[in-house]
Amino acid sequence: MAFRKPWVSPLFPFSWRDLALTAAIFSCAVALCFFLQNAGVIEGFAPPVFVLAVLLISRLTTGYLFGLIATVLGMVCVNFVFTFPYWAFNLSLSGYPLTFFTLLMVSLITCTLTAQAKRQANLLAENEREKMRANLLRSVSHDIRTPLT
């Protein structure tokens, strides 16, 4: 029997589908930012693009794992690649802590809401199965008690 922490599995599940989806959305965000950077768009375009990417990743994946990974990678990309000085870390930027906090909160709130919605859908499906089972038992019980004439 393998040792497994009970809180790890539901909060941080890993699936290859979620990994591929995260990679696709994140690479689209990076490509869009490179396009905007080369087009000469005014500075400040990267944080909103990565907020949107984190939101989509958090919404479309299961658990918190990929949302948190997207948050950290998004902040690294915003700071290292798309903010002056380019290709260098600058942790003294004004607004950097706020951007990181915003990305983190978007990720956590979206992951929590998605998990709640999935849990409610599962409960509704289970409730529907119980109703169908009760109706079937009621019908069979009625048929057994009623004599055939």
E strands, 2-129, are none
pLDDT beyond 80 at 8: no
Residues 88 and 100: their CA atoms lie apart, in Å, by: 17
pLDDT of 92 > 60? The answer is yes
More confident residue, 8 or 86: 86
d(CA 66, CA 61): 7
Helix axes 65-76, 96-145, angle to 10 degrees: 160
* Mean model confidence pLDDT for the chain: 82
Arithmetic mean of pLDDT, 125-142: 91
Task: State the Cα torsion 138-143-146-149 to the nearest 10°.
Answer: 160
**Is the pTM here over 0.85, yes or no?**
no
> Where in the chain are the domains?
15-114
Most trustworthy range by pLDDT among 43-47, 50-54, 76-80, 86-90: 50-54
